[in-house]
Amino acid sequence: MVTVAQAEQIIAQQTRDYGTEYLGYELAMGRMLAEDLIADRDLPPYNRVTMDGIAISYSGYASGCRRFDVVTTQAAGDRPAAITADNQCIEIMTGAALPETVDTIVRYEDLSIENGTATILIDTIKRGQNVHTRGKDKKQGDVVAMSGQVVTPAIISMAASVGVSRLAVKKLPRVVIVSTGDELVGIDETPNPYQIRRSNSYTIKAALQQYGIAPDMMHLPDDPDTTYTQLQAALGAYDVLLLSGGVSMGKYDYVPSALGRLGVAPGFYKVQQRPGKPFWFGAHASGQLVFAFPGNPVSAFLCLYRYFIPWLSGIGGSNAKPLYAELAADLTFKPQLQYFLQVHVSVSEAGMLVGTPLDGNGSGDFSNLVAANAFMELPLEITTFTAGSVYRMWPFKPIV
Ligand code: AMP
Ligand code: MG
């Protein structure tokens, strides 16, 4: 048996690179950039007018001119116009490229325009005002978003600006979710009184969907030969196997032995935690990883969010920082196991994250997961936990 920290470390050592793929914006959202995004031209690419008004040459203003003849109007997207004398101006709109013969924009609010003559009504004009100069934000060839960042709307904005319509993102592993157990039936079937529906596979699939993975699913009966041949097939077709059930000490738990015979070297079997103690993890010499979670739905859920999702985020290069919350109530937990308490974390009036225990009927009550939004990881070495203490937490829903 290993501790939670050891289990985490053993898994973290299994780094993988599944390569790069090029995706359109919809599919690239939330994925990890695999190449730097480079500015194909200066940003902004020309001296950009930032106010509607008139464009003048500052030298005319400096020599005392306050009335300017409007020679033409230039809209955004128009080819730049020109003036030929210092007492001329161009009516010009936000987004237009500043013509070479002018350098300063006076906004409509500071002007009156009558019969083709613009009169400046203020006496605080600065040379170059209301112009966003070419290359001020980025120069051509500059990195505008670095590889390793998660693709967000702001990154899509940069990609669109520099003309990259397909983003290079880290490929994700091919994942299969494997349920096991003779008591399990499909979700559309009517279970006999001694059967249950296989919910774990759908829970895991839904969670992975949020990370851009569309896993396949398979089901194994509690039979050693079928377990062996089906797992062999899965190892041939997928990078990661996420199993649930069949890893406990029961007479019909065939998963660890089948995996061992198939060359999946165990990294650990059993973690000093509740829920999820019989968690089995291993790696094949050819690279495939196997996360074999206990079948108990809360155990599988906890192990998914505590171990698999961080590993998945890690291979893309984004190790999320630990999050903490205050425990809202006193609590005692005596077993020598690291306890993952189901909590509902909310934001207190003082702006602190506070986790209220929602343990229901204990760690195995999965109906509670609907109301809870996080697990709070209570340290192994303590048995009495007092309200107001701060502990690490693992959210699995947005905190509101
Ligand atoms: P096991 O780890 O196979 O001993 O299973 C532990 C408990 O989890 C048993 O009560 C199983 O019926 C239940 N279980 C196993 N797999 C699933 C599943 N896919 N969906 C829901 N419950 C499951
Ligand atoms: Mg079972």
The per-residue pLDDT for range 276-302, each reduced to its tens digit, is 999 999 999 999 999 999 999 999 999
Nearest CA to ligand 1 atom 10: 296
* Distance between Cα 297 and ligand 1 center (Å): 7
Whether residues 284 and 220 share a domain: the answer is yes
Q: Does residue 202 lie within any of the structural domains? A: yes
Residues 258-270, mean pLDDT to the nearest whole number: 97
In this predicted structure, what is the pLDDT of residue 196? 96
- pLDDT higher than 70, residue 319: no
Distance CA 338, CA 266 (A): 21
CATH number of the domain at 142, please.
Answer: 3.90.105.10
N-terminal to C-terminal alpha carbon distance within the chain:
36
CA angle centred on 102, ends 99 and 103, rounded to 5°: 105
Whether residues 164 and 26 share a domain: the answer is yes
| Shortest-distance ligand to the CA of residue 296 | 1
Residues with CB under 5 A from ligand 2 (ion): 181, 245-246, 295
Q: Does residue 90 lie within any of the structural domains? A: yes
Token reading at 125: 């004009």
In this predicted structure, what is the pLDDT of residue 200? 96
Give percent of the chain with pLDDT exceeding 90. Answer: 92
For residue 285, with 0-12 CB atoms within 10 Å meaning exposed, 13-18 middle and 19 or more buried, which class applies? Answer: exposed
Residues 132-187 pLDDT 10s: 999 999 999 999 999 999 999 999 999 999 999 999 999 999 999 999 999 999 99
Nearest CA to ligand 1 atom 3: 245
Q: Does residue 104 lie within any of the structural domains? A: yes
Q: What one-character DSSP code corresponds to residue 99?
A: P
State the SS3 of 279-293: CEEEEECCCCEEEEE
In this predicted structure, what is the pLDDT of residue 263? 97
* Cα-to-chain-centroid distance, residue 388: 30
Whether residues 305 and 217 share a domain: the answer is yes
The CB density around residue 136, as the number of other CB atoms within 10 Å, is 13
* Distance between Cα 296 and ligand 2 center (Å): 9
List Cβ neighbours of 104 (8 Å cut-off, separation of 6 or more): 55, 56, 57, 58, 61, 125, 126, 127, 128, 129, 130, 131
Going by pLDDT thresholds of 50, 70 and 90, the confidence category of residue 320 is confident
Question: Is the C-beta atom of 196 inside 6 A of ligand 1?
Answer: yes
Average confidence score pLDDT of the chain: 95
Whether residues 305 and 336 share a domain: the answer is no
Q: Does residue 386 lie within any of the structural domains? A: yes
Residues 210-221, mean pLDDT to the nearest whole number: 95
The Cβ-side half-sphere exposure at 354, using a 13 Å CA radius, reads: 13
Whether residues 283 and 378 share a domain: the answer is no
Whether residues 27 and 166 share a domain: the answer is yes
In this predicted structure, what is the pLDDT of residue 366? 87
Whether residues 115 and 55 share a domain: the answer is yes
Edge-to-edge strand list for the sheet holding 67-74: 104-107, 53-56, 88-92, 67-74, 117-120, 111-114
- pLDDT higher than 80, residue 318: no
Going by pLDDT thresholds of 50, 70 and 90, the confidence category of residue 316 is low
Whether residues 32 and 157 share a domain: the answer is yes
- Residue 325 φ then ψ, to 5°: -145, 160
Q: Could you tell me the sign of the dihedral formed by the alpha carbons of 55, 60, 65, 71, in that order? A: negative
CATH number of the domain at 185, please.
Answer: 3.40.980.10
Token reading at 261: 């015979």
Residues 244-267, mean pLDDT to the nearest whole number: 94
Question: Is the C-beta atom of 199 inside 6 A of ligand 1?
Answer: yes
List Cβ neighbours of 271 (8 Å cut-off, separation of 6 or more): 1, 2, 3, 4, 7, 277, 279
* Distance between Cα 91 and ligand 2 center (Å): 77
Buried b (16+ CB within 10 A) or exposed e, 308-325: bbebbebbbbeeeeeeeb
Question: Is the C-beta atom of 294 inside 6 A of ligand 1?
Answer: yes
The Cβ-side half-sphere exposure at 61, using a 13 Å CA radius, reads: 23
Looking at this protein, which amino acid is placed at residue 87? N
Going by pLDDT thresholds of 50, 70 and 90, the confidence category of residue 360 is confident
Question: Is the C-beta atom of 201 inside 6 A of ligand 1?
Answer: yes
CB 308 within 8 A of CB 290: no
* Distance between Cα 301 and ligand 2 center (Å): 16
Token reading at 397: 């829903």
* Distance between Cα 391 and ligand 2 center (Å): 33
In this predicted structure, what is the pLDDT of residue 292? 98
- pLDDT higher than 60, residue 66: yes
| Shortest-distance ligand to the CA of residue 182 | 2
Alpha-carbon Rg for the chain in angstroms:
31
CATH number of the domain at 327, please.
Answer: 2.40.340.10
Distance CA 250, CA 396 (A): 30
Pick the closest to residue 103 from 119, 73, 84, 126 (CA basis). 126
Q: Does residue 307 lie within any of the structural domains? A: yes
Q: Does residue 31 lie within any of the structural domains? A: yes
Distance CA 73, CA 50 (A): 15
Residues 90-120 pLDDT 10s: 999 999 999 999 999 999 999 999 999 999 9
The CA dihedral of 33, 38, 40, 41, to the nearest 10 degrees, is: 130
Number of domains in the chain: 4
E-assigned strand segments in 53-147? 53-56, 67-74, 88-92, 104-107, 111-114, 117-120, 131-132, 143-145
In this predicted structure, what is the pLDDT of residue 359? 72
In this predicted structure, what is the pLDDT of residue 94? 98
Distance CA 23, CA 16 (A): 20
Nearest CA to ligand 1 atom 6: 295
* Distance between Cα 75 and ligand 2 center (Å): 71
CB 138 within 8 A of CB 157: no
The CB density around residue 332, as the number of other CB atoms within 10 Å, is 8
Whether residues 256 and 363 share a domain: the answer is no
**For a substitution probing ligand 1, which of 184, 293, 298 has the most ligand atoms within 8 Å of its CB?**
184
* Distance between Cα 245 and ligand 1 center (Å): 5
Whether residues 208 and 105 share a domain: the answer is no
- pLDDT higher than 80, residue 369: yes
In this predicted structure, what is the pLDDT of residue 283? 98
> What range does the domain containing 155 cover?
21-43+136-170
In this predicted structure, what is the pLDDT of residue 317? 56
Whether residues 234 and 365 share a domain: the answer is no
Question: Is the C-beta atom of 245 inside 6 A of ligand 1?
Answer: yes
The DSSP element (H or E) to which 258 belongs, if any, is helix 255-261
* Listed residues 95, 127, 159: the one ending a domain: 127
Token reading at 225: 């030969």
Going by pLDDT thresholds of 50, 70 and 90, the confidence category of residue 371 is very high
Q: Does residue 9 lie within any of the structural domains? A: yes
Lookup result for tokens 């950039």:
33
Q: Is the full-model pTM beyond 0.85?
A: yes
* Listed residues 256, 289, 315: the one ending a domain: 315
* Listed residues 315, 335, 363: the one ending a domain: 315
Residues 188-197 pLDDT 10s: 999 999 999 9
Q: Does residue 400 lie within any of the structural domains? A: no
**For a substitution probing ligand 1, which of 274, 296, 365 has the most ligand atoms within 8 Å of its CB?**
296
Looking at this protein, which amino acid is placed at residue 191? P
Whether residues 353 and 254 share a domain: the answer is no
